[in-house]
Structure 1
Amino acid sequence: MKYRTLIQLALAVAAVLTLGACQQITQGPRPLPEQAIGVAQFTQPTHTWDLLAGYIPDGQPKVDDKVLRDLDESFETLLFRQTKRRYVSSGASTRCLEMDMRKRNGSTTALETWLDVGRCMKVDLLIVPHILAWKERDGGDMGTFIPSAVTMDIFVVDIVKERVSARYHFEETQENLASNLMNFDKFMERKGKWITARQLAEEGMRTGIKELGL
């Protein structure tokens, strides 16, 4: 039985390596220009008018504020480690967003809100991250009943041109290797463990930073 299992695993690894060898290497996005860039706090859109794009999945519970602030910390740490830029921090965006909400009497679009926040922060570009769906794992790193799941958007809002210039969408529920052999690289990076939702979101952030040219 052990011999058969080893053969199956070896075949699975060979299949994944073969598929990886056939993939073409593509050039990454052009880096963003050297401009003043701000980072907004993580928020969870609850209405369609809160969205810059996309949609809100049905039946999503409210994400705890501490989770969002932890994600702010993770995102700014990764930006500092992976890029050579200086960013106006999410702390400034929090104050500007609160000021904007107080001064508005009627409804407004998400783009108008974040443009005002960017102007308040005195930046040319504003990175706006949203959490759309969040499910924490039920279990531990070696075994879980319910895996982590995260849906996240990261937008680049051009404050000068008054438009959304780029969007990165991340949506993943962790799967075991038997369910999807294409996850072999992730399986190895995660050392065969079931990760937390925050760790899953951080994986999305790392890829988003590259995809957006930050």
Structure 2
Amino acid sequence: MKRLFPLLILCVFALGALSGCASKSDIVKLPRPSGKIAVAGFTNPVFNWELLAGYLPHEGKPIKKDILQELDAKMVGVLSKHGVTAFARPAITRQCQEIEVFENLGGRREAAFAYWVKVGQCMSADYILVPQILFWQDLRGMQKADFNIQPASVIIDLYLIDVNNRRIIRRFHYDETQQPLTENMLEAGTFFKRGGKWVTAMQLADEALETGLMELGL
């Protein structure tokens, strides 16, 4: 029995690795939207009514501004890598984000959606990509140690809004907290893909943007 245990572990690792590869190849690439696209700067809703969907794990916890700026730059980099070039960058779209304001339109969530449509209209865009970060917890502790660790955890939503028809046409939701391999053998493929070590919240955000933009057709 003792001799079989290592073999069993290797089988689990192999299955995890295969499942990781399958998840990457199964990503659905939707047709790229035709028209002018405005990319909003990352926002960090601190209250549920600021969201377009879902709920915050913790209200009232803002994220540092420099993190949002770094995410904006990463968004532009991934879009460019994917061959998306004709879009208004977050630095420009932020001007309209600062001009437009939330209005009392009845339900607060309806007001949040109306706000982003107005930002898209301000940009004269056919579509607006709205990235929101709902939770951010960075890694604390040694990256290669399995004790005294606060793992990185990230929740990001990406919305593609049809401005002219006033509707959300695509959404990508990313909710990831890294776990030790000993706690989740089925994630062995992802564990080894990350170099077999603990990763930072920004590295999780890289995964979210790479996968999310592909799923949105961008």
Choose which of 143, 148, 151 in structure 1 pairs with 2:155: 151
Corresponding position: 1:82 with 2:82: yes
Aligned partner of 1:46 in structure 2 is 46
Matches within 5 A, 1:35-184: 35-59=35-59, 61-101=61-101, 106-108=103-105, 109-143=111-145, 145-184=149-188
Cα separation, 1, equivalents of 2:197 and 2:9: 17
Q: 1:60–1:133: 8 Å Cα contact kept in structure 2? A: no
- SS of equivalent residue, structure 1 residue 170: strand
> Structure 1, unaligned stretches of length 5 or more?
none
- SS of equivalent residue, structure 1 residue 145: coil
Cα separation, 2, equivalents of 1:31 and 1:125: 14
**Deviation larger for 30-39 or 65-74:** 30-39
State the TM-score, normalizing by the size of structure 2: 0.85
Deviation at 1:211, TM superposition (A): 1.1
- Percent of paired sites with the same residue: 31
1:157-195 superposed Cα distances (whole Å, 9 cap, x missing partner): 110101111110000100122211222221122111211
Corresponding position: 1:192 with 2:196: yes
Distance 1:86 1:5, change over 3 A: farther
Q: 1:39–1:88: 8 Å Cα contact kept in structure 2? A: yes
1:79-128 superposed Cα distances (whole Å, 9 cap, x missing partner): 11123442110011211111113xx6x43511111111111112100000
Distance 1:20 1:129, change over 3 A: closer
- SS of equivalent residue, structure 1 residue 133: strand
Deviation at 1:26, TM superposition (A): 4.8
Deviation at 1:58, TM superposition (A): 2.6
Cα separation, 2, equivalents of 1:201 and 1:27: 17
Q: 2:171–2:216: 8 Å Cα contact kept in structure 1? A: yes
Task: Tell me the C-alpha RMSD between the 2 structures.
Answer: 2.6
**Deviation larger for 184-193 or 148-157:** 184-193
- SS of equivalent residue, structure 1 residue 33: coil
Cα separation, 2, equivalents of 1:189 and 1:98: 40
Distance 1:61 1:111, change over 3 A: same
Aligned partner of 2:108 in structure 1 is none
Cα separation, 2, equivalents of 1:213 and 1:154: 12
Distance 1:174 1:27, change over 3 A: closer
> Structure 2, unaligned stretches of length 5 or more?
106-110
Deviation at 1:33, TM superposition (A): 2.7
The answer to which structure, 1 or 2, has the higher relative contact order (CA under 8 A, 6+ apart) is: 2
Q: How many residues align?
A: 209
- SS of equivalent residue, structure 2 residue 189: helix
